[in-house]
Amino acid sequence: MNQEVLTTAEPTVHRMLSIGSRFPDFRKKCVVSTTPGAEFNELSSAELRSGKGGWTVMFWWPKDFTFVCPTEIEAFNEAAPAFEERKARLIGASTDSEHVHLAWRKAHPGLRDLRFPMLADTSKSLAEELGILTPEEKVAYRVTYIIDPEGIVRWMSAYDLNVGRNVDEVLRVLDALQTGALTPCNWVKGAATLN
């Protein structure tokens, strides 16, 4: 009697890049403006590690032309001055192309005057290296990274596709990291740190 051995293939699981890891090298196109002739630029990981003392906050969303994503992008844009005060560069990213980003910015009133670049990871290579792609659609989860001036991830958070994140919490964590001190639960900027 012939017995057939059945095997079930395990899905490929990529581990998310986490705290203490060096943020991967990349060079990607991004949308920086809606002004004709000045819409696109390139952004690279080398700029994140420029040695100028700046931090980076990179946040990912699943898809352009959706519903939760613009609420987050608008909230980060409203908070852009607060990130600038903290010498933190803000970068938004998804796996959509720079042309889709531009079309969305032109079509959505709340996205026209963004103060940060929209990075286009069209090849999905950076999202894959970060381990943040959904298994089915291969779009990015809602992931946020705080990266120090040396290019090391100091904080990350990940949300499921249907849950929007909290920009105030990103700012709170950035403040805590920038103190270089121990901070207690629910610490906020200006409160005492632990000795």
* Residue from 68, 74, 82, 57 nearest 114 by CA: 74
**C-alpha count within 13 angstroms, C-beta hemisphere, residue 179:** 18
Confirm if 182 and 193 have CB atoms less than 8 A apart.
yes
* Residue from 45, 40, 33 nearest 115 by CA: 33
Angle (CA) 41 112 43, round 5°: 20
The single residue of 69, 100, 111, 119 carrying the catalytic annotation is: 69
Has 69 been annotated as catalytic?
A: yes
Catalytically active residues, by annotation: 69
